[in-house]
Structure formats: C-alpha cells, structure tokens
A and B are shown apart, each in its own frame.
Chain A
C-alpha cells in the first residue's frame, strides 16, 4: 500500500524568514500522525502547503504514490485531502445539513433546486461510515463547540476526503470534548481515514497519535513513536531545551484587599445577565485565576473592572475607593493595568510605532507625557527599557506594532502594563497564541510582579497555566462564579467538570472566598 502523503525537501521562504526548511514527512495510510512544534515553528505554513493554499519553493509532494503539485485547495480536495481549520467556518443561521452541503450542493434539476433527499442520504452514509453522530436538522448556533467541530469534520468527509488535516483541533475544547474528539478520531481511523493533526499539547499528542513528527525552526527534527518517548522528551525536541512549567513558589498573599468586586451583574444586549451577581476579592501579592469555557462572562467581568462595561448592579472597589462610576481613564490612572484577551482588538495600535503602543493606557502619566505634551524622548526611553527587560525582539522601537510576532507583541503589552507599577493587573489569556519561550517569560514576569505585591486577576483557557500560577481559582459558568478551588488539590479533570456545568456544587464557603490561605 503506498504512503498517504510523502513530503521530500519542502522549503518555503518568506521575506526575511524561512518558514519551512527541508521538511521531510511520511504519513502512512490509516494512521494518526501528529505534527508538533512551537508557535512559529512552521506548522501552519506546512499545513497550507499540504492543502494547496501556498506552493512550496522547493521539494516534492506525493499523495497515494503519485507526485502532485497543488495549485489550490480544490486540487487538494480532489485528491481526497480535507482540512478542518482551527477557527470554524460555519453559518450559524443554517442547519447542520445545510452547512455540510454548502459549496457542494446536490441539485435536482436544471433549475438548480437543491436535492435535500440526496444530501440527507449522503450525510447519513458518511455519519454511519465514520461513526459520527449529530442531528442534521439542528441549527448550528445551538451547538456546542465540540459539536461544531464535528460538523466541520463531517463537512470534509462529505466531500470525499480520505486524508484529514486537523489544525489545532483541541485548542477550543474542554477536556470532556477532547475525549469525545479523540473517540471520533479513532473511529475515523478504524474506518480507513488518515489523519494529520497539529497540536502542541504534548499529553494529547501522546494519547492519540500513532506517530509524531516534531518541527523546530522550520525543520523536521524527528519522527517518533509515542511509545518510545515521554512528554519531556518531546518538549525537548520541540524547544531544544527544558519545558517551562508554570509553578508558583510559596505564597506571597497578604491580607490587604486590592480589588473587591461585590454583587456585580452585567446585562447583555438582550437585558440578560451575562455576569450574574459576582463577588470576589483579590489581595495584594495574590493571583486569582478564573477558569471557564469562553463566553461564560469572563470578558464582561473584566470589562466591568476595567470600566469599558457598566454593571447594572453591584460595586467595584480598588483598595478603599468605590470605582464603580469611574471612567476608564481614572481607573487606569489609579493603577489598574490590563492585558486584554485579544491583543489586536484591545491591546495595540497596530499601525502605530512601538513607542506609541508602549504609551497606550498610560499616556497621561510620565514618562509618556509632560503637561499637555507628549514626551517623545521619555516614551522612547521607557520603550527601550521595556524592550530590554521584557526581551521584545525588534530592530528598533520605531517600527509599527504589526511587524512584531505575536509573542513579542504580548511581551510589549505585558511590559508596558507591569512597568506602570499598577496596583491591580488584569491578565486575560496572557500567553494565548505565543510560543513556549515567550510563554515562560510571561509566567516569570507575572510571578515576579506577584512577589512584589501586585494583585493579579488571571483569566486563562490554559488550565496548566491557571493551576500553576494561581493562589486561588474561581470557576465561571454562565455568568456566575460556581466554585472557588485550591490549585494545590485540583486536577484539570475537576476543573473541566465545573467549567462545563457537569458539577455545580462548588466550595462556595466564606473560607474559600476570603482565600488568604
């Protein structure tokens, strides 16, 4: 039996960067093959080449024994290669079946009327053949994230794909959904499909893959069997050094309350509570972690503290001041630092130079301004400082923010927020989408700030990060804090149960809320 995919000497260059450098990859028929690597290692480029979205500069690609040149994704689809993107591309207002047939609709007659009977038959056939179950008549907007992903997979199979490329499929899933996905993947494999998936969560890779190829700096460094390696071995292959562990040392929590949120409710556009009666305290020197599946009100809670959303009831206090009615600027000046969840949305002026980005949020204070004037020299100086201390890799501080990689952008934001000497730091997904090296640096800086007495509210989807950094973890579900947990005796599995609402009997005692344990 010929190999499903074979890549030889694939090289792809972009201006100033070699994204793929002599990549060699062999994927056998019917195996689950994982591709691991740090962010920026060249995984995405490789996937784009495999799916025909970008032609390689050098090298050959063989599919099922025949050498091919892919000009576009439709060439790939024709060869039976399908791709499930990390960000779903589904129409919320359509049903599952309509989404699946979108783009390859069977037609009844010359008038172009859709043949739903035929579509449904084919849909059932695919579902049965690969053991994927989902109601074709459900509206996509009513589906959970895991189910949406299944729709994406069915969509690809419906088009006759035998080789599936899954781009970081577990990134958006909670642990229970990951298990479900893995069950589906094994089922697919049992029915003859070949799966190529990208991931950088090592435990998952080890749990599901038949073989693992590691990419580092654009090169394929090794292909290994999961039985022969440990997670540490893999991590070392990926980063070339030891795996950084989020691990907070001894407690630095004081009894001085920095932030006090009391009974805060925030309503959404439909007047429904998206944050529902939330009460929490954060002490100086404490990191309070908030766990939760995205969309359970974390962002709105953060907005209420920063001041970009207004609670319909409840109070927010910073130290002794009731800041509920304060505008954002006063809050920032009073010492609230904010690392937003999406740096491109709320964090950066992408078209402005770094030194202006470093001033954003602190532009009213020295060294960024003098009286009514912008202090250009002072801003440059401070930005150079941030660049040095936070290891922001950039040719100079006058380049636009969009020129930097995600990790460096994040380090710049973190640097600007922590060097402003805040009283409270709100860090929303501070390590999302950045590579392992930058991640370790961010963790170090958060820990150092905590030791210096900073109160931190940490929102993260990375449970290891939450458990490793937090002094206490609160779980947010449907706008409520359903549990306060001690990170020392909680597992990702427990957290997952609270996050999905599978368990609702959190230890909401006054003891856990006071929390200075």
Chain B
C-alpha cells in the first residue's frame, strides 16, 4: 500500500520534473551551440530570482498567466479549445480601460465597474463562439481564431482612434483616475520581509487570481454543474444520456472561460499602466494555453506552471543585462517544456492505466500475490 502511494506521487510529479530536466538539457545544447556558457546563464537566472524584487516581478507576471491558464483549462475540461482567450482578454481590457477612464466614481464602485465591464465583455465575446458552435456547429477553434483577429485587428484598432486620449501625452486611452486603481500589496509583503525597492509593486490582482483558482476548483470538482461539465468533457454521449444538456454546457463553458479571460488584463489596467495603449501586454492568452497544458488543468498545477513561466519571463531581462546568453533562450525553454510535458504526461498516463487495469484484474482473478507485486512495482 505504502509502496503504491509512493509510486503514485512519483508518477504525479515525475512527468513535469522530467519535462523541465529535458528542457534544461536541450536548452544547454542550444546555448553551447550559440557559444554561451549554459551554467553561467542558469546561474544568473537563479541568482536574479533569489532577489525579493525579482520575486515580486515573477508573481506579477505569473498572476495574469494563472488566470489565463484557468480560462483555457475551463474549456479543456469540456474538450473545448478556447484559443480565443487572447482576443477576449484584450477586448475586455480595452473596454474596461475606456469605461474606467471615462467615469469618476467612488473608489470601490469605480474598480467594481471596471471588473464588471471586463468580465462581461470577455464572457460575451467568448459567448459569440459558443453561440456559433451551438446553433451552427462551427468548430470553436476556427471561430475563436477568427474572433481573435476581429477583436485585435478590427474592433480595437478601429475604436482605439475614437478613444485616444488627446489631452495627455500618452498614445492610449485616457488614464484611469486614482479611484479606479487597486492599491498594491507591498504593505502586506513588508510585514514579512524588508521594504521593497520603489517601482516594484506586488499586484493585488494576485488575490483575485487565488480566488479564481479556488472558485475553479470548487466549481469543477465539488458542484453538480461542475460534474456535468466534466462528464461532458469525458464522454459527451454518455453525459447526454445521463441528462446533461450538451448545448447548455458548451455555452456555460464558453461564457465562464471568457469571463475568466476578461480578468487577465486587469493586472495591467488596475495595477500597472491604468490604460490601454500600443504597448499593452499581448500574448497572455496563448501562453495561458501552454500553462494550462503544463499544469494539467489542475488549479495547483496551473499555479506551478504559471510561476515557472513567470520566472522564465522575468529571467529574459537579466540575461540581456548580463549578456551571458541570448534572452530568446527563455522562449525556447518554454516551448520545449510544454512539448516535453505533453509527451511525459501521456507516458505517465499509460503507466497509470496499466497499473489500474492490473489492480482491477487482480480483484477478479485473485492471482497469486507475487505475480501482482511483480506487475506493480
């Protein structure tokens, strides 16, 4: 029994660890070919990460990645591939910035309004793909890719001109007033450790991200609708025969995923730049898919994956400064980790399936125990 528990834990952590080891090895080869010293590059990365300022930077980067990962995971749990998180979060952030910049409200209400706009825009835009799938059978992958283009190249590009802040010097939307900003969490952090250098502010969206993670876990694993959700993901036909309305589930999944996506841009809007401009951070939607894959759609796993990606992103800056390696190595590593993880998970999955099958067979056959131990150790 004890032995099988150890084996299960090993199987659970073995795959991502193997993926990271594999990625580090392969990246080292790339670095060597490029004429860099991999050990020095990794040394720089780790040393940098051990500083409190970098820690804050990693969390700030990991927070939107985490929310984006959850948004992708909600779709994945139902076998829906919401590639549109990218478009949904950018569109949501844009409208949130426009509305947030246009009004003056008491602090809590102002922030609440911005959240509300972001979540509803994200959900509605994802809902379009949901409606297309439910009513016309259009594959959500195609629909969301198209909607990404429409959102970024179409709606935002077109409206950005209309809402350009002509008074200030900035190139984006009007900056949101103080009342529509969230305080940072540096104070909380400083209770535990020393003061943080100016310019590094721990985003309070972190709290939202944690709540989203807990909510995701409770919803998927503990609620009846969450069960319907997973059932549809496991086997839509069986779920349907079991009374789960398939079309409703698709709509729920897309709306929830989109609502989450709407929160991705909030770090930037509420804690950092307080506006939407040309420099607004892009690509978090696609990274979220990678993070969800790496984290196996598990709320804890996604957190680890988001932190890993946050660390790697944060490292690319220091590599540029020290010059010990090209910063692009970070993207290479991210790519390799995800690919390797997908392969490793599949291998582990097969081992698990075999273990379970032999345990179940043992329950039927009651074969001699030595035969069994031979199979499962």
Q: Would you give the shortest CB distance from B362 to chain A, in whole angstroms?
A: 5
Judged by a CB distance under 8 angstroms, whether A509 is at the interface is no
Within 8 Å by CB of B367, from A18, A331, A399, lies A18
* Chain B residues closer than 8 Å to A360, beta-carbon distance: 231, 238-239, 242
Nearest Cβ on chain B to A17's Cβ, whole angstroms? 5
Nearest CB in chain A: distance from B131 CB, A: 19
Which of A3-11, A206-214, A284-292, A403-411 binds B? A403-411
Query: Judging by beta carbons under 8 Å apart, are B353 and A402 in contact?
Result: yes
Segment from B58-66, B221-229, B275-283 that makes contact with A: B221-229
CB contacts (< 8 Å) of A346 on chain B: these are 237-238, 240-241
A256, chain B: closest CB distance, angstroms? 25
Decide: A372 and B234 in contact? CB cutoff 8 A.
no
The answer, yes or no, to whether B174 is at the interface (CB within 8 Å) is no
B361 contacts the other chain (CB 8 A): yes
Q: Which residue of B lies closest to A13 (CB)?
A: B371
Asked whether A465 is an interface residue with its Cβ less than 8 Å from the other chain, the reply is no
Which A residues touch B227, using CB under 8 A? 356, 359, 363, 369, 374
Tally of chain A residues near chain B (CB < 8 A): 46
A395 near B360 (CB under 8 angstroms)? yes
Within the assembled complex, what's the spacing in Å between the Cα atoms of A356 and B231? 9
Q: Is the CB of B234 within 8 A of A349?
A: yes
Does A51 have its Cβ within 8 Å of any Cβ on chain B? Answer: no
Contacts across chains A and B counted by CB atoms under 8 Å: 133
Question: Is A399's CB under 8 angstroms from B359's CB?
Answer: yes
Residue on A nearest B364 in the bound complex, by CB:
A393
Residue A361 lies at the interface, judged by CB distance under 8 Å to chain B: yes
Report B210-251 CB contacts with A as 1/0, cut-off 8 Å. 000000000001111111101100110111111111000000
Q: Which of B242, B357, B367, B371 contacts A402 (CB 8 A)?
A: B357
By size class, the interface of chain B is 35 or more
Question: CA A27 – CA B33 in complex, angstroms?
Answer: 64
B105-129 interface code vs A (CB 8 A; 1 in, 0 out): 0000000000000000000000000
CB within 8 Å for A369 and B371 given contacts A345-B237, A352-B231, A400-B356:
no
Residue of B nearest to A217 (CB): B365
A154 on the B face (CB < 8 A): no
Task: Tell me whether B363 is interfacial, beta carbon within 8 Å.
Answer: yes
Q: How far, in whole Å, are A363 and B222 apart by their CA atoms in the complex?
A: 12
Complex-state Cα separation, A17 to B102, whole angstroms: 71
Chain A nearest CB from B303 CB (Å) reads: 23
**Contact among B225, B226, B360 with A403 in the assembled complex (CB-CB below 8 Å):** B360
**A364 within 8 Å of B (CB atoms):** yes
Q: How far is the CB of B137 from chain A (nearest CB, A)?
A: 13
Check: A15 CB closer than 8 A to any chain B CB. Answer: yes
The answer to whether B364 touches A405 (Cβ under 8 A) is yes
Cα of A403 to Cα of B364 in the assembled complex, Å: 11
B367 close to A394 (CB less than 8 A): no
Given the complex of chains A and B, what is the CA–CA distance between A102 and B271 in angstroms?
Answer: 66
Give the complex CA separation of A328 and B244 in angstroms.
Answer: 8
Chain B residue at minimal CB-CB distance from A342: B237
Instruction: Considering the complex, give the chain B residue whose CB is closest to the CB of A331.
Output: B243
Complex interface residues of chain B between 325 and 377 (CB less than 8 A to chain A): 353-354, 356-365, 367, 371-372, 375-376
In the assembled complex, 17 residue pairs joining A and B whose CB atoms fall closer than 8 Å, in A order, are A15-B357, A15-B361, A308-B241, A329-B245, A330-B243, A332-B243, A346-B237, A349-B239, A352-B230, A373-B224, A374-B224, A393-B363, A393-B364, A395-B362, A405-B360, A408-B360, A408-B364
Binding site for A on B (CB under 8 A): 221-228, 230-231, 234-235, 237-245, 353-354, 356-365, 367, 371-372, 375-376
5 A-B pairs with least C-beta separation: A16-B358, A329-B243, A361-B242, A403-B356, A349-B234
Residues of A that sit less than 8 Å from B by CB: 14-18, 306, 308, 327-333, 338, 340, 345-352, 356, 359-364, 369, 372-374, 376, 393-395, 399-400, 402-405, 408
Supply 13 further A-B pairs (C-beta < 8 A) apart from A16-B358, A340-B241. A15-B358, A15-B361, A16-B365, A349-B239, A352-B234, A361-B243, A363-B243, A369-B227, A372-B223, A394-B360, A399-B360, A403-B359, A405-B364
